[in-house]
Structure 1
Amino acid sequence: MNEIEYFNPTKLREALKLLSRYKEKAAILAGGTELVVDMKSGKRKPQVIINIKNIDSLKSIIFSKNKVKIGPLVTIAEIEDNPDLNEKIPVLCKAASVIGSRQIRNIATIGGNIANASPCADMVPPLIALDARVKLHSEKDTRDILLEDFFLGPGETVAGFNKILGDIEVDIPGPNTRIAHQFITLRRAMDVTIASIVVRIDLTSKGIKKPKIVMGAVAPTPTRSLKGELLLHNKAPAQVDINGVAATAAAECKPISDVRASAEYRREMVRVLTKKALEEVLL
């Protein structure tokens, strides 16, 4: 086995300098629940490990009047258990609660769940539905982007080799916002999601505003049903053709067949789950 250089920075600027130096030779270690498995299987063979676990500035959950900032090193269990998040954005806590076992959730981080760019990442669809933005840090600059623009394909993101994911910022939903999260796995717990749907709408006197239908595990990246959203926009809840919107979402997804489910089954689950989520927010 080849020797691996290991660095343990305590400041973000130190980690960014190392990443700028080693680029594609380096791997970022946060929770390690994916990286360690990939290294053991030979899928990834980094020459350098940059452990960012001890960078305290990346570990906070900070609430302001209308927003919350979640550091990328916040663990999935910390999100699941946070009382303020449970009160103000319960959909994030629900998504966190279905990831792996409690032992995994104690180690895995929200930043890792995002940065690994798995099509079935459980935290991503609700975050996209909430219009989440993320910071991307490099040695030269920091920029903000919408989370839905972060993903390029399975395991690929705009972060490339020289950026570290920073805070995830989410607007706290108002009293007129309704969000529903539906998902399916082969087993009741500790299994990878086969399909997931998050529907978000704002109910106003002029009808539905800001509709989002976000689909997970049924395309190369988490994706939205844009045509389905158009069928919701400006409609009164009673005017919505729930079956039609669900069928439209199913037609827009791009699932694959694998050991967990066929593409046809995943597409049908998109229809079923979208219908359930729409019924939850509309009826």
Structure 2
Amino acid sequence: MNDVLDGVRDHYRATGLTERLKAALAVLGREDQLLTPQQLDALDQFHTRGLAATAELAQLAGITADTSVLDVGSGIGGPARVLASTRGCRVTGIDLSEPFVDAARYLTQRTGQSEQVSFRTASALELPFEDSRFDVVLLQHVAMNIADRARLYREIRRVLKPGGRFATFDVVANGSKLHYPVPWARTPATSFLLTADATHEAIEKAGFRTLVWQDDSEAAKSWITERRASGPPPSPNLSVVLGPDFAQLFTNLGRNLMEGRLGILTAVFEAASTKPRNHMENRS
């Protein structure tokens, strides 16, 4: 378990990330100049279809200004900031990578949202929150780095209020070997894709009822096609975060999608009304 977590941390280590972001953002204005979350979308949206996917997931999950949201695997905070600005909700993000959390806090200061959006370094398999804390939990392009799906989904269920919603937008396996490296893994050692059916089964076993289940693979392919046609991404972009091989990571993501080696899933679940298992039971 620790070896796997260390491998994932290494993939997202991003040493010196905040300083790189400060340098890259100089093109958008002075350090004391507030930015909008939308200005950062080429830089901080780590999932296919970017802002559009986050907006659709928020709509499907019914997020409003009164909703308390946990973003699991929040990266450098792009979706959390967008949700707060467009939905008016409060968002807490957790991520395994300390440099990502530091960068998320910095970018959130730059958008003036630090009172509404916060971040913590933590594992998705051991969420540092009490039972029944949140109305909605989001998981966007994260589960593919997690081998213990049963524990992941139990933890999400534990921190959700009864009747709360779990909204996921993730990559699923289609039975063929992938071309590596990809954005979430440079080798198969830290890639743990499940099929859509296996994902569905694991989530429902954790105490959820399906509300929305849709295959967004074709929409993702269209997005890839549009990105290819539009030429190089605007600057600053994800290469600041993921490094100089970002272009290869994105190319392989598109190739795997187009060849049907993986798919994209959007789903929303409702937490069962029964009392969640206690903290220690979830770790047995």
What TM-score comes out, normalization by structure 1 length?
0.27
Greater strand fraction, Structure 1 or Structure 2: 1
More relative contact order, 1 or 2 (CA 8 Å, 6+ apart): 2
What TM-score comes out, normalization by structure 2 length?
0.27
Greater helix fraction, Structure 1 or Structure 2: 2
**Greater Rg by CA:** 1
